[in-house]
Structure 1
Amino acid sequence: MAYSSEVGNVNVDVLKEKLKVDRKGAEVVFQNEELFIISPSIQNGSNWFDLRKINIERFYNSKKKGLLLLRHNTYFLIADLNDFTTQMMRKEDMKSTSTGGDHWKFNIISIGDFFTVFNLSNKNVLYSMKYSNVENLKKDVDKFIKSISAYSGEVDSDFSYEKELILDDLDNSEIIRHINNFLIAKGFNYSEEDIKNFYLSLRSKPFAIISGISGTGKTKIVQLFAEAIGATEKNGQFKLISIRPDWSDSSDLLGYRDIKGDFIKGPLTEMVENALANPQLPHFVLLDEMNLARVEYYFSDVLSVMESRKKDEEGNFTSSPLLPQYNEDLTLPGNLYIIGTVNMDETTHPFSKKVLDRANTIEFNEIDLLNFDSMMVNESGESDKPLTVSNDVLESTYIHLKDAFQTHEALIRKVSEIINTINKQLEPIYAQVGYRVRDEVSFYMAHNTEAGMLLTETEAMDFCIMQKILPRIGGTQNIVQPVLEELQSELKEYPKSKAKVEQMLERVKIDGFVSFWNA
């Protein structure tokens, strides 16, 4: 559907003023305590519009009275949304595209002040719409909603939406066990320790980078992790975005205005809208081959907004507007998790410390070609069934260190002492970490404790050093080698970190230069 930015803004203002509703996440969705409104603005000569399945699902979840309120030039067409979906939106008439997702397409026929809608896939069924204009909109809507009921929870059998039970009472060990079994049932081998680390990494910060040599399953672990807890591309909770090497700003990711002034949403913006509209469910964005383009160029706006995260009066995560020129209500929600996969070779770009500071960098380089456990027949069939879980199982408890300090003071002091010792050894190469890294390591350790010690304290700290500190190290032999030798001794309690430092030492002696990525 083509939207005029000018008319779209007028539509927003009219609905806010006349009906006292606010736009919620998606561009065409408006709500207040009583009403759920889908209000497309039709600006094309053929009079067609479409309705997305995900917005209808949002309506069903709201349990409110629903209106379809079409803005057509200077007038509005009104319909009972519940009745419209029942009569006009059969499963077999649904279309699916990569840009529009699952949707239905309709056309309007007008004769004087009479308006009829038909489904372009089923032109035999017509639906009459009520007419109103801007001046009479409030009066007409108030009269209309008296004749309709809130959604009852019963869905027409022809409609494809099925409400799933959202689980929020599973403990962390049960979640990890389920995800591990799900991955095995799908034929993939990952250690349970790595799954625990990935889980804790997302809880401490909803942005992670997965590195490793090609073919180790970096993309697959993200896809299957998300699928195991109910997030798929089909239901709008998962999106794989392939990064192109020519991306030089955020427009391909977030969106841009075309020559007509219409805002063309980027794939990340669509996922943010989905997450805002379904706050009870986790949503995942996978930036595949993240460093084919310079991350600082196309992702800097998102990184900046990510650092503005805070909690509102109701305790929900919010942030500064992601696209203030498009929608001031579009913020990064607490149920959106962004994961990038990276390879390091001659076709890719290195990361700046700005990016590394803001992510957990998880390395997948261990390969066991003789492990065939996941190839065994899954006789029970239970472990390969995904669960639909609440976002509560992943959402971080903390944003600021003071939030965790009262309940985890001893742990945070211990973590700070360890990092401070490492920092002193990193000073000669200016690779020491700041408060942000200290805080996020503390959050990781606190979440591990609250989860019933998924990892031992030493194992958890080992992962944190590997993911938050060592990726910053790099340089020539005469500068870096003495630092690595000191770290080799200092990190003897942490086997993963010590092994990585030893790999870097070996590499710097051979090549005269080393980084975390080429060791």
Structure 2
Amino acid sequence: MVQSIAKDSFTKEEVQNYEDALNSLKYFLLEDNDEIKVEHVDTVYEFLSHSTNTKRQDKQLFAHYLQDIPPGEVKKMKMVLKKLKKGIKENTQGPVEESKKKLIEYGVLNFCSAFLTKPLLHEEKEMIAITENSLKDSEMKTIINQTQLHNKEPKRYDEWLSTEAAQVVTELRTADENNELSALHVNKFVKLFKKYSQGRLLFHINGYIQTEETVRIYGTPMEWTNEGIVPLNHPWKIEEWSISRNNIKAHRVAHLKQNDLVLVNFSGTQNTHFLASLLFIDFTTAEVVPLSLEQSLQEIGGTAFVKQLKDNMSVNTSEEIEAIIIQRLLNVNQELKNQLEKEQQEFVLQQQKLSEEQQMWRRIFYKIEQAIAFEQKEAKVDEVQIHPYKEETFCKQVQSLLYHNDEEQLIYQESTLKSFIHALQANVLTILTGPSGTGKSSIVQAFGHAVQNVAVRMIPVQSSWTDTQDLIGYFHPTDKTFVPTPFMEALAEASKNSNKLFLICLDEMNLAHVEYYFSELLSAREEKNPALRLYAKRHYDIAKIICDQGCEDVERLRNAQELIENYQSTFKIPSNVRFIGTLNMDHTVKPLSPKVIDRSFIIEINHLSKIQKQKIIDTISKEKLTGKIEMDATIFSTVRNDEESVKKAVNILEDISSTLNNYPNASLNSRGYKHLRKMLQFADLEETSLTIYIDSLISGKILPRIDIPKVDLDLITQKFVEKLSNYPVSSQKFEKMLATNRMVKFW
């Protein structure tokens, strides 16, 4: 295990790395059109992690810049940075903008300012930056620009070639060797190189050859390092990188000469004869870099100016002039530094005050927006047509509304809708699986639009989720408040609206291991009175005392009230909540464990053929329905059949399942039969409808449990196939499951 070494300052390389990342983050948060690299987000996340890692000996070095920020806020920042990284990678604007707001709210700008204004071991650079902003004399600015150039940290060109640019360079080398190098390859490299060099390049003019009206210039790209100015090697050839340009109008480059060091703009070359040189250099806008103080002064005022300056200062060499100027700069700098520190302290205090006021107004506006949205929603509901609920035709009504209510004209088989609705009515964890684009998420949202008093909350699962806190939130020990997630906020909302049915859908639930983040809730649902333990009960008791006796600290009183009203230490899972999950089964996601499958009902949604779609459209077009079906949570949960009347169907399913008794976890257990009995209590038990429905139950409850080596299953395969012969959907699915070489399984 690598141990961190105790230290009280950063290396220059570390300072440069963190400065780049924090500057990038700062401008990203403050500018509307700014962008940020994923690696900069990772660097900020690493800094925050080091500040809270008790195993690091240098923890205090990082924590020094976060001393005014509560530990809980640091954890929030890290969570938001994870979401920001995902949003950037997926190019989703909504999560990125939300992350920006949250980071500002949690005080990231204070942290950025704390480091950027006082990075340890960076006094020289700080002095130069402060002094440059304050001086007005052009000759002073020239001197400072030169000092910056000479003290610039190495850009690590070779390291960049072997890491960030490695893949592109490999592509260019291969294309060059095969004589397939093109302008597209060049532009790909130049785009990366512009980011690396920040759009400009240091170039040494090795040759300046003039004819009558034109000039040919050739030379080498250069880089500042601790060892001085060094030439850059060609990205893939074992030689210095040489670039030339012919036929430049002489009057446009008259300010240049041989051996000049210049800063140039560049783009990708389009000349097919010189593609391997990669760059087209714009020498007409090149700026000559002064290489000495005396040269700089001569460019400002000429030789006479330099001589007069030496006489006035009573010195003989440019080194003595430099010493006098630097001493004066140091004197000016100290005053400016003291003033800047004072202004910085005032700025931090003002920003903290502003942040508190912002949070207060944000809460007020949020409540106003909620009230307006509620009124608008109620007004809209009044406008739509309301259809009476009829349990015999409920599924057909929903099927018609899903098609006619939505511009997408969603089409689902009636058997799919029955399985979906009855699983929700039975309060079984409902998992929707199938190829992308089959409407797994859409069926949930569309059902909320088609049925009155149904609220849908979509919760995108993150691949980084590893425990229950990622799903429900955590208790903030400093603020004595519970920090909920959108999932937990939906549960709290449901507990206050018992007449409404709440569908909480975990979208792409197997991006992370389901049993890692959902196991506590799965276990809680098995209890007689399902509940979640959010935090220690003593915090709840203290909150009750604060609410009863009052408190001068308004924020603490508000936090206590929120605990009492919304997030009790033992939070009862509302009976009007149904949990749904959508799955994408590919190599990037986590498989479902037997525990999750055992507690779920699986509905496979596949693409329909044109004939199947047209048949459904013809049926539902006979009676075109739009609007909503009259409903509330109580009506939705009212059973249609008693337990006695469903015994026949249960016996059929038990007979089929018993074929798998000799295989671990394959046959149904008591929990599985309980789910089936409950679902059958909402079903149509008429003979034809029942056969179709039993087919769905086999497919959704028995087949997903099968995960058996094919050689072991051969003993009972024929018998199992015969028992499925009356159930076409399950029979076809099982045939597909058998078409494997080793394991017979649903997924």
Give TM-score scaled by structure 2 length: 0.43
Q: Which has the higher contact order (CA 8 A, sep 6+)?
A: 1
**Residues 393-414 of structure 1: CA distance to partner in whole angstroms, max 9, x if unpaired?**
422659xxxxx8xx43253265
1:172 matches 2:407: no
| SS in structure 2 at match of 1:274 | helix
Residue type at the aligned position of 1:490: K
Q: In the aligned structure 2, how far is the partner of 1:422 from the partner of 1:463?
A: 14
The equivalences for 1:435-454 within 5 A come to: 435-449=670-684, 453=686
Which residue is equivalent to 2:605? 364
| Match 1:427 to one of 639, 653, 662 | 662
Distance 1:388 1:411, change over 3 A: closer
For the residues of structure 2 that align with 1:417 and 1:195, how far apart are their CA atoms?
Answer: 22
1:471 aligns with 2:704: yes
Flag the structure with larger Rg. Answer: 2
Specify the alignment match of 2:513 in structure 1.
294
Q: Which residue of 2 aligns with 1:208?
A: 430
User: Which amino acid letter does the alignment assign opposite residue 712 of structure 2?
Assistant: I
What does 1:344-355 correspond to in 2, within 5 Å? Answer: 344-355=585-596
Does the residue aligned with 1:208 lie in a helix, a strand or coil? strand
Match of 1:502 in 2: 735
CA RMSD of aligned residues (A): 3.9
TM-aligned CA deviation for residue 101 of structure 1: 9.7
Decide whether aligned partners of structure 1 residues 171 and 328 sit closer, same or farther in structure 2, where only a CA change above 3 A counts: farther
What is the distance in 2 between the residues matched to 1:491 and 1:469? 11
Give, as a single letter, the amino acid of the residue that structure 2 aligns with 1:395.
Answer: S
Equivalent positions of 1:91-490 (< 5 A) are 95=366, 102-103=369-370, 160=376, 162=378, 170-185=389-404, 186=406, 187-230=409-452, 237-258=455-476, 260-261=478-479, 262-310=481-529, 319-321=530-532, 323=534, 325=536, 327-328=568-569, 330-369=571-610, 371=613, 383-387=625-629, 389-395=631-637, 397=639, 407-409=642-644, 411-412=646-647, 415-416=650-651, 418-449=653-684, 453=686, 456-490=689-723
| Equivalent-residue separation in structure 1 for 2:643 and 2:377 (angstroms) | 44
**SS of the residue 1:173 aligns to:** coil
Q: Does the 8 Å contact 2:444/2:456 carry over to 1?
A: no
Question: How far is the alpha carbon of 1:384 from its aligned partner?
Answer: 3.2
Partners of 2:448 and 2:378 in 1: CA distance: 19
CA contact (8 A) 1:167 1:390 kept: no
User: How far off is 1:178 after superposition?
Assistant: 2.6
TM-fit CA distance, 1:202: 1.1
Report the equivalent of 2:293.
none
The C-alpha deviation readout for 1:303-354, integer Å capped at 9, x for no partner, is 11111145xxxxxxxx234535451462122211111010111011111121
Q: How much does 1:173 deviate? A: 3.2
Q: Give, as a single letter, the amino acid of the residue that structure 2 aligns with 1:344.
A: M
1:429-483 alpha-carbon deviations (Å, 9 max, x no partner): 551221010111111112214xx75972222221111111110101322123434
Structure 2 SS opposite 1:482 = coil
CA change 1:374–1:174 in 2 (3 A) is closer
Identity of aligned residues (%): 26
Question: CA separation of 1:359/1:322 partners in 2, compared to 1, >3 Å: closer, same or farther?
Answer: farther
Q: In the superposition, relative to structure 1, how do residues 218 and 160 fare at CA in structure 2: closer, same or farther (>3 Å)?
A: closer
Give how far 1:369 is off.
4.4
> Residue 388 of structure 2 contacts residue 629 of structure 2 at CA under 8 Å; is this kept in 1?
no
- When the two structures are superposed, what TM-score results if normalisation uses the length of structure 1? 0.61
Deviations 1:143-197 (A, max 9, x none): xxxxxxxxxxxxx999646376798961223432331111111211111222122
Distance 1:445 1:468, change over 3 A: same
**Aligned equivalent of 2:29:** none
CA drift at 1:367: 2.4
- Is 2:746 aligned against 1:516? yes
**Bigger share in strand:** 1
Structure 1 unaligned residues grouped into runs of 5+: 6-43, 53-88, 105-155, 311-318, 399-403
Q: Structure 1 residue 46 and structure 2 residue 357: aligned?
A: yes
Q: Write the distance in 2 (CA, Å) between the matches of 1:101 and 1:478.
A: 64
Higher mean C-alpha deviation, range 412-421 or range 290-299: 412-421
User: CA separation in 2, counterparts of 1:184 and 1:296?
Assistant: 35
CA contact under 8 A between 2:453 and 2:632: conserved in structure 1? no
Q: Per-residue deviation at 1:258?
A: 4.0
Checking the alignment, whether the CA contact within 8 Å between 1:476 and 1:514 is kept in structure 2 is yes
Alignment correspondent of 1:16: none
Structure 2 spans left out of the alignment, 5+ residues: 1-71, 73-354, 537-566
Give, as a single letter, the amino acid of the residue that structure 2 aligns with 1:269.
M
- Structure 1 window deviating more from structure 2 (384-393 vs 493-502): it is 384-393
Cα offset, 1:284, TM superposition: 0.9
Query: Could you say which residue in structure 2 is the equivalent of 1:151?
Result: none
Distance in 2 separating the partners of 1:455 and 1:246: 47
- What is the one-letter code of the residue matched to 2:718? E
- For 1:500, what is the secondary structure of its paired residue? helix
Measured in 1, the distance between the counterparts of 2:387 and 2:628 equals 14
Partner residue in 1 for 2:326: none
**Aligned pairs, how many?**
359
- Compared with structure 1, are the counterparts of its residues 494 and 50 closer, same or farther at alpha carbon in structure 2 (3 Å cutoff)? farther
> Measured at CA, do residues 349 and 485 of structure 1 come closer, stay the same or move farther in structure 2, by a change above 3 Å?
farther
Q: 1:178 to 1:417 in 2, by over 3 A?
A: closer
Contact 1:477 1:514 in 2 (8 A): yes
